[in-house]
Amino acid sequence: MDELPPHLIPEILSRLNSSLDLARCQLSSKTLAAASAEVRSITLLCSFDRYTKSRLPSTKPLTTPFKKIFTNLVSRSSHVDSVSIGVERPLGGLSYDDDVEDEADDLYLNDVGFVREWLPGVCGRLRSLEVSDFWIQSCWRRSEVLSLISSSCHNLHKLVLKNAWLSADGLNAMPTLTDLTLEFIRLDDEDLGKVNSCFPSLQILNLIGVGGLKEPKIHLLHLRECRWTVSNAPLSLTILAPNLIKLKLECIKPGSLFIDAPLLSDFHLSIEKACNLVVKDFRDLKTLHVETPYLCTIFGQFRHGRSIKNLTVDISKWAESAEMANFNLEQLLVAFPNAQYLTLGPGSWLEAGTCFHTGGSEVSVVRAKEITAHLFVKDVEITLSLIFFVLERCAKLTDMALLIHRGVESSVASDLMSRCTARSARVRWRWGFWKEGMKDAWASDGI
């Protein structure tokens, strides 16, 4: 190590996966201890093993407290501009349902008292901060860490907070912040007014499982990417974002949903039902992914469907009534006549097959170049009839990728494959298998 050029040692130390290894290096060598002061990034996660040892009477006296390790690391690093502290995923997955009772605060990482111990030493340089808390200790403790961070970190660009109950009281404007993620957070800002006013420069916003919202409105002029997973059923959801390009929205039953994002190009929408759905014209929309039991109702909102080239649709829950489903491929292609890349999820394919079997579909898929479908094969003849009918209407089709449910007998699957490939030699066939909760598996890469 002494033979290495001095400027390389901090570079090597900065590539360690965990700053726990950095702490060990600081104790093992004066050279490494001196070099570690120039490391710019600290990442420290508490493992399940460390958590367990800190609770057992036989190992607790021998286990250095996690917070102490972290504060020592920060105090010895004078060039840090990125900090990530949290608990590893197996530990983060513990809940009261696991009969775990923990009234301690040794892993309550959004504790303002703890953050005050280390933040002043790095806040001036800090550009990225991530805190992933231990839910069992944090969910019942209201933290004002947002106020502390916003008043201290004037150069922060990225902030990620997970598994906590956060107060918005005393929140100050952070004009440099461009990237914000709140994940599994109880937020005392029921309309997101504080988020909008205090983070005006946000370009990336991720709100994943954020509770405490009643009538939330995202109104951000510079926002370009947004992922919003709504865990409850608020009275309304509103998105006003004139520069938004990419949106992934997952919600259940909002009373109303209003989206005004004229530059939106990539939209992923998963919704059970919206009593009042209004979307402004998406003239630049190129990619659309929709998952809902009410496909036809949703399609009616996209008046400029001609711009869409890449389309994915699925029925999230098998339709319980004709009103819920009422879907066929003809309706799909009428709404989106220029779709070149079409993906049909298992629910939409099943419903399309039902409508076709009952004479409810007159498919005209003339512009599609590539089609991917997840097949239920309840009746091989009906499935083949729908596939062949689509082939006849798709003069420009070059690729057909079909995934067969793993519950289908192998002899039936083999018969389906051979009859399809014999039917059309101009199409490149890809075959695979799918099942709920499992990753799609491809058996061939083109025949």
Mean pLDDT by 10 residues, the chain (447 residues): 54 53 54 59 89 91 91 86 89 57 86 97 96 94 98 98 97 98 96 98 98 94 98 89 97 89 95 78 91 79 80 74 59 80 88 63 67 90 88 87 94 93 92 92 76
Give per-residue pLDDT as tens, 16-74. Answer: 455 555 555 555 555 555 545 567 888 999 988 889 999 899 999 888 899 999 998 88
The number of C-alpha atoms within 13 Å of 81 and in the hemisphere containing its C-beta is 9
Burial 121-151 (b: 16+ CB within 10 A, else e): bbbeebebbbbbbbbbbbbeeebbbbbbbbe
Q: Please report the pLDDT score of residue 334 as a whole number.
A: 72
Q: Please report the pLDDT score of residue 318 as a whole number.
A: 45
Q: Distance between CA atoms of 137 and 131, rounded to whole angstroms?
A: 14
**CA end-to-end distance (rounded Å), the chain:** 55
Tokens 């190129």 identify what position? 286
Can you give the three-state secondary structure of 353-410, one letter per residue?
HHHHHCCCCCCCCCCCCEEEEEECCCCHHHHHHHHHHHHHHCCCCCEEEEEEECCCCH
Q: Please report the pLDDT score of residue 374 as a whole number.
A: 94
Tokens 């695979």 identify what position? 432
Q: Distance between CA atoms of 67 and 65, rounded to whole angstroms?
A: 6
State residue 8 phi and psi, 5-degree precision. -80, -25
Q: Tokens for 248?
A: 């992934």
Closest C-alpha among 197, 191, 189, 192 to residue 172: 197
Q: Tokens for 354?
A: 């039902």
What is the side-by-side strand order in the sheet with 217-219?
217-219, 237-240, 256-260, 276-279
State residue 441 phi and psi, 5-degree precision. -125, 125
According to DSSP, the β-strands at 428-434 and 441-442 are antiparallel
199 in Cβ contact with 180 (< 8 Å): yes
CA 295 to chain centre: 22
Q: Please report the pLDDT score of residue 325 as a whole number.
A: 54
Q: Distance between CA atoms of 232 and 211, rounded to whole angstroms?
A: 7
Q: Please report the pLDDT score of residue 322 as a whole number.
A: 46
Among left, alpha and beta (phi > 0; psi -120 to 50; other), residue 446 is left
What is the chain's alpha carbon radius of gyration, rounded to the nearest angstrom?
A: 27
Q: Distance between CA atoms of 257 and 254, rounded to whole angstroms?
A: 7
Residues 6+ apart with CB under 8 A from 95: 135, 136
Closest C-alpha among 300, 325, 305, 322 to residue 314: 325
Residue ranges of domains in the chain? 1-39, 288-447
Q: Tokens for 306?
A: 């001609």
Cα dihedral angle (140, 144, 146, 148), rounded to 10 degrees? -140
Helix, coil or strand: residue 250: strand
Q: Which residues, in sequence order, are bridge partners of residue 256?
A: 276
153 in Cβ contact with 160 (< 8 Å): no
pTM score: 0.87
Q: Please report the pLDDT score of residue 99 as a whole number.
A: 45
Residues 6+ apart with CB under 8 A from 176: 154, 155, 156, 157, 201
111 in Cβ contact with 136 (< 8 Å): no
Q: Tokens for 3?
A: 């033979």
Residues 6+ apart with CB under 8 A from 343: 311, 312, 313, 371, 372, 373
277 burial level (CB within 10 Å; 0-12, 13-18, 19+): buried
